[in-house]
Structure 1
Amino acid sequence: MVSFLGRQMAYATIGIAVLCLLFAATYQHQSQPHPTPRSNCQDPYNQPGYIYRGHTPTEIRWIPYEDEDLQGRQVELINELKPPAAKLAKAPPSFNQWIKDSGNLQDAPELDFARGKTVLSVGDSHDRRNVEGFCAQHKDSGAVLTSKGAHVATRCTLPGLNLTVGSWFHYGLAEQKEQWYGPHLTPAENNPPPFFVEERMGDVFEPDLAEIGKPDLIILQSIYWDLRYFPYHATHYGWTWELQRVTRPMTWNELAWHRARLTDYVRLFQKRFPDVPIMFRLGQERANNQGGGNVALYQMNESAKTLMNYLGIPIFPWAELLTGEEDYADVMHVKPLSQPTYLFADMVLYYLRKAVQGWEMTC
């Protein structure tokens, strides 16, 4: 009997020991970091990476990080400004350079994805500036700029490709019931009506659409005029002076209102263009942070990014790649012929190729 009990206790002890070893091994296995493999076929502009900025208006490239950059290998510091050629080769294609190098755009098969296509940015003067920049970058390739008014519509056409890069202007997302908003915009001669984006669709955008044709890619944006709208609203209703400040951080309630109107904005274009890929462009930083203006931009961008992810709208991350930009034409606009507009053009053509060849095409 004693021998039997002894054997039973020995077996139990061994069993407990085995279970402890298994638990320890499992815990150790689960606690060790196992990096998720990083695909080389993701959207590179929306991956973490390195922004290379040289001295000329064309020296700007985004290089996404790869697994080999994350292995903790020791490297020697060197007396060199440019990234290694092998790393630059991993950057998304510079379609701007393809255009410049083509010689004859009518016989450039590598650019056939852009032939006869239209990209449309819907937003404000920053989008117009990028269109102007596209034309400035490709003046020698025959680019032609056409404007119906700074606050109406602008487009750049590249005849050799029959490619159109255009912009439609609106005054932000004030609601149609707010009839005080339009007369508040001064000077009146620079701000032709209608003042609400829902009304501009039929009165302003549709006539231009008849000329440029159905877009193959739409990039929406509504940031800077909405930042201006909130203090206008507070002033109209006589609210506290802190809310009437033109440049200031946003409130929680204002961002909630903005997300609701952004949803209306996206749905408006989805309804009108049900089979056209739509992206959303974030707002770039101001030239300075006076009055907490860049805090407001950060707040609005984070709010918009979260909403667009919820709505399934891809982000056009141009603005985030320009963090620290200094070469401004004024307190908020970049220069037409500049690194920011060159990067915009490269990105527009990258996403156009995705839109044309299949939105899930990620390489």
Structure 2
Amino acid sequence: MAAYTRVEQKDDLAELGELGGPPRRGPLQPQPLALAVGPAQSAVRSLNWSYAGWVVALFLLAHSAWTSKSATTSAEDDCFDPFRSLGYVHRPANLSLRHFAYPPSASLDDLTTPTPIDASMDPPDGALSLAAPAYGDMLNEKVKPHDLAFARDKSIWFIGDSHDRMNLEMFCQQHEAGGAVLDVPHWHIKANCRFPDLNLTFASFFHYGLSPESESSEPDPWNIPQIETSHENENPGPYSVEGRLKEYWLPAVAEVGRPSLIVLNSFFWDLRYFAHHARHFDRGTLLRQDERPLTYSELAWHRSRARAFIDAVRAAFPGTPVMFRLGQEHQTNRNEGNVAVYQLNQSLRAVLAKMNVPVFEWASLLTGERRYADDQHFAAGAPARLYSDMALYYLRRAVKGWDRCEPWPSMARPPARAR
């Protein structure tokens, strides 16, 4: 990071205001209207307040509550997470992707108010108040808005696989107009996307899944070194997350800065590992297939290794917020391969909930995506844009205080191992 000249700018988070969140309102109740009613009008009073009139009044009140932009935010709103809330996925024409949360404080009547169907393809303007900011749009501005002051001198780390690297590459290319600088020393080691004017770095670090080092080392390296490759030195060691942590991730602090947020992932290389393991130990024909449902013991093994992975990263970077990205569906469901995706995601969610690790819900928000580069990687466009918007949203939360909100974990020290 020293290669860039830092632009001094006051970065007072108090000036940023609170995180954008939904208006907090109680259940809507129809309020009597102040009507001037004379003696001659008393005969029609019941008509004015007929059932139809109440429905109209309720609709207007509910619509006003849902679309209001004038509501002030509160400390409670500061803890609202639009990406982890029930809501509506919207795809604007600019190949981005926005998630609009339904108001969590809305009553059943609010949610079920009769609403006519119109011809609009876009949600109402007021729904924007329930969405995270479009930080990707802000990053493309040559003069960065003050809304991005929280990102100055920060580093976001993605520790995972080629999906993280490709998202970073596509996102960086989308933001060349905003000064983004891409650097990929080795696709199976690390990649960086820097914004020099903010001294902000998105860093991606690669690993081969959760298999132990011993399976890829002498005297019997049957795992990673035996996987067919198309490039020289395509899969350099170390071959375990523990080895990579020591060899690459800890030394990277001097290069890209201490991480302010870490997003972990271990998924598709593990799916490959299960089939490779079965072939090496001559298990049944079904178990040797690359795409198939997983067994109960395979999932139990993965949970134990996921716990070790998270514990190791937390111990290496104490105080740094950690999230975990789950896997997305394959473009095809060849040999019921998406059953394994569902199984592994469910298994990981169980571990992450016990370890107080929030889920980076990128994959679930892309359900039904059809623009794939291959059977598992997404093409350039909305997925990478959503990735950056989410990363910056959670970076802002990390800067403001990760442990202020439930269910966020305390980051004062690594958690004690549960018995």
**TM band (smaller chain):** 0.7 to 0.9
The Cα offsets for residues 84-132 of structure 1, whole Å up to 9 and x where unpaired, read as: 11113321111112223x4413xx3221100010000000000101111
Q: Are 1:143 and 2:180 matched, yes or no?
A: yes
> Per the alignment, do residues 361 and 138 of structure 1 end up closer, same or farther by CA in structure 2, a change over 3 Å counting?
farther
Residue 185 of structure 1: CA displacement? 2.1
Residue 202 of structure 1: CA displacement? 1.6
* One-letter identity of the residue aligned with 2:86: P
Residue 194 of structure 1: CA displacement? 1.4
> Per the alignment, do residues 85 and 228 of structure 1 end up closer, same or farther by CA in structure 2, a change over 3 Å counting?
same
Q: Which has the higher contact order (CA 8 A, sep 6+)?
A: 1
Residue 50 of structure 1: CA displacement? 0.7
The Cα offsets for residues 217-274 of structure 1, whole Å up to 9 and x where unpaired, read as: 0000000100000000000000001000001111111101000000000011011001
**What is the rounded CA distance, in whole Å, between the counterparts of 1:88 and 1:329 in structure 2?**
30
The Cα offsets for residues 113-158 of structure 1, whole Å up to 9 and x where unpaired, read as: 0001000000000010111122022110110000111101001001
Residue 53 of structure 1: CA displacement? 1.5
Asked if the contact 1:173/1:197 (under 8 Å) is kept, the reply is yes
Of 199, 210, 225, 1:162 maps to 199
| Rg larger in structure | 1
Of 382, 387, 392, 1:344 maps to 387
The Cα offsets for residues 334-362 of structure 1, whole Å up to 9 and x where unpaired, read as: 12x31011011100000000011111456
Residue 291 of structure 1: CA displacement? 1.4
Residue 68 of structure 1: CA displacement? 3.8
* One-letter identity of the residue aligned with 2:128: L
Q: Are 1:258 and 2:302 matched, yes or no?
A: yes
**What is the rounded CA distance, in whole Å, between the counterparts of 1:161 and 1:70 in structure 2?**
44
**What is the rounded CA distance, in whole Å, between the counterparts of 1:356 and 1:152 in structure 2?**
27
SS at match of 1:189: coil
Of 84, 90, 94, 2:130 maps to 90
Of 69, 76, 88, 1:50 maps to 88
Structure 2 equivalent of residue 122 of structure 1: 159
Q: Are 1:197 and 2:197 matched, yes or no?
A: no
Number of residue pairs matched by the alignment: 320
**What is the rounded CA distance, in whole Å, between the counterparts of 1:361 and 1:50 in structure 2?**
27
**What is the rounded CA distance, in whole Å, between the counterparts of 1:322 and 1:181 in structure 2?**
31
Asked if the contact 1:124/1:168 (under 8 Å) is kept, the reply is yes
Bigger fraction of residues in helix: 1
Q: Are 1:104 and 2:143 matched, yes or no?
A: yes
SS at match of 1:51: strand
Residue 207 of structure 1: CA displacement? 3.5
TM-score, with normalisation over the residues of structure 2?
A: 0.74
Q: Are 1:327 and 2:376 matched, yes or no?
A: no
Structure 2 equivalent of residue 29 of structure 1: none
**What is the rounded CA distance, in whole Å, between the counterparts of 2:346 and 2:385 in structure 1?**
25
The Cα offsets for residues 267-304 of structure 1, whole Å up to 9 and x where unpaired, read as: 11011001111000111111111111211111101110
Residue pairs, 1:177-216, within 5 angstroms: 177-179=214-216, 180-187=222-229, 189-216=233-260
Asked if the contact 1:119/1:164 (under 8 Å) is kept, the reply is yes
Residue pairs, 1:57-76, within 5 angstroms: 57-58=95-96, 60-66=97-103, 67-68=105-106, 70-71=108-109, 72-76=112-116
**What is the rounded CA distance, in whole Å, between the counterparts of 1:147 and 1:176 in structure 2?**
25
Mean Cα deviation higher: 208-217 or 68-77: 68-77
SS at match of 2:192: strand
Mean Cα deviation higher: 160-169 or 172-181: 172-181
SS at match of 2:340: helix
Structure 2 equivalent of residue 289 of structure 1: 333
Asked if the contact 2:209/2:267 (under 8 Å) is kept, the reply is yes
**What is the rounded CA distance, in whole Å, between the counterparts of 2:298 and 2:137 in structure 1?**
42
**What is the rounded CA distance, in whole Å, between the counterparts of 1:359 and 1:302 in structure 2?**
25
Structure 2 equivalent of residue 79 of structure 1: 119
Structure 1 equivalent of residue 26 of structure 2: none
**What is the rounded CA distance, in whole Å, between the counterparts of 2:93 and 2:404 in structure 1?**
33
**What is the rounded CA distance, in whole Å, between the counterparts of 1:154 and 1:103 in structure 2?**
23
SS at match of 1:74: coil
Of 277, 284, 287, 1:240 maps to 284
Residue pairs, 1:18-37, within 5 angstroms: none
SS at match of 2:211: coil
Compute the RMSD of aligned alpha carbons: 1.7
Residue 70 of structure 1: CA displacement? 4.2
The Cα offsets for residues 278-332 of structure 1, whole Å up to 9 and x where unpaired, read as: 0001111111111112111111011101110100111111111000010111111
SS at match of 1:357: helix
* One-letter identity of the residue aligned with 1:148: P
Residue pairs, 1:273-288, within 5 angstroms: 273-288=317-332
TM-score, with normalisation over the residues of structure 1?
A: 0.85
Asked if the contact 1:43/1:362 (under 8 Å) is kept, the reply is no
Asked if the contact 1:354/1:361 (under 8 Å) is kept, the reply is no
SS at match of 1:344: helix
Aligned residues: percent identity? 41
